Amino acid sequence: MSATAQGATAQDAAAESASSASAPAKGAPAGDTPVEGAPGESTLAELRKRADELLPELAAGAARRELERELPHREIRALADAGLLTFRIPASYGGGGASVAEVFDFLISLAAADSNIAQALRPSYGRVEHLLAAPEADRERWFPRFLAGDVFGNAGWEIGGANGEVRTRIDGDGVVNGSKYYSTGALYSDWISASAVDDAGERVFFTVPRDREGLELLDDFDGIGQRLTASGTTLLNGVKVAPEEIAARPGGGGRSPVSAFMQLYLAGVLAGIARGALADAVAFTRERARPIQHSGVARSVDDPYVRHTVGEISARAYAAESAVLHAASAIDRAWAGGLDSGLLTDAAVKVAQAQFVAAESALKASELVFDVGGGSAVARKHNLDRHWRNARTVANHNPRAWKAAVVGAYRLTGEQPPVNGLF
């Protein structure tokens, strides 16, 4: 996973995806130079069709994979090979040209099928979003890698020091030594993005192939949920970084639609978890649950309290999804409006609201799953607890109380949300 509530800092978006962007350019993202003959060129309609074919298979094996701790290497490779990491790449480069709302419509479905996979791919989708705000040379370099099916992981966060402290060092010869944790999706990736501090004390962001000598990826993430996100330790022991592998410093002091996208991604995963909990509640009621003895009905599907429970789970999943898609549209409006500061602030506020609603909804929906069945619902083989564990783990990335407080301050006094990677 990426940073927990205690570890999140102002550099969240940059460290999570190791942006190659400087301050976002004004105007909606658009590809100016086509990449001729890119092997993975796909229309949005084609990508949606491939998603419809792949997602049911992912969902069918999700509970078993987590129960048996089988890392989804094959499943993530299938998604990348199908071009499903290229939704947001402009059509002029060979991508789907999807809006933010359209990509989140897919991401919620992906998280409903397997939230581990959705979270593991956050650095890849975040990298594309950063590139939309990056210099043209960066888009020309990296979009073809996505179109070819490459996957990107990150190694941005460290533990044991002060909040947000980076102790990994890069010397004058470009040699990096240090250790990272919360390396989201790293074990599935072809490229690893990370950061280090140079001799002048400045943060340096770079991207290297995952087979670079001295780069060691450990499968030691021990969270209660999202166990298959491959978010463990990355060791950098004398890793050589070439000058062209060092990115321009991200940021620029202003509010960014990329930060909003990265934060909304967490809410999208939570909305997907709520939808997945609904699917399991319906399936368990129809196929396994027995009505309580004094209910007066022969089938659990006819029990009014079970019906109420499923209805409440459905409503909470609907609320989470609606909030996420509404906030995604706000990010689209900010892009279309030339990154106007007012539109960016509106997007930041709506994303914070969506995160609050999605977290509350996913946690409650995943708890209510157990109310549709009796003692058999808690059998380990059903693995129904994974929904709550996964929701709890994602919700701990950033404290939702702060999201609500920031929105409240904005509504009451007009105080602007913080300008950092958390908003």
Whole-number pLDDT of residue 15 = 41
pLDDT in the model for residue 19: 38
**What is the Cα 198 distance to its own chain's centre?**
29
* Per-residue confidence (pLDDT) for residue 416, from 0 to 100: 96
Give the span between the Cα atoms of 12 and 223, in whole angstroms. Answer: 19
pTM: 0.91
- pLDDT tens digit sequence for 254-274: 899 999 999 999 999 999 999
Please provide the average confidence, as pLDDT, over all residues in the chain. Answer: 89
Which backbone phi and psi does 241 adopt, to 5 degrees?
Answer: -115, 125
Confidence (pLDDT) at 30: 36
Q: Tell me the mean pLDDT in the region 300-327.
A: 97
pLDDT exceeds 70 at position 408: yes
| Mean predicted confidence (pLDDT) in 348-363 | 98
Q: How confident is the model at residue 6 (pLDDT cuts 50, 70, 90)?
A: very low
With 50 as the cut, is the pLDDT of residue 101 above it?
yes
Q: Does residue 374 have a pLDDT over 60?
A: yes
Q: Of 106-110, 191-195, 248-252, 296-300, which range is least confident?
A: 248-252
pLDDT band at 80 (very low <50, low <70, confident <90, very high): very high
Per-residue pLDDT at 162: 72
Q: Which domains does the chain have, with CATH numbers?
A: 12-151 (1.10.540.10), 169-245 (2.40.110.10), 257-413 (1.20.140.10)
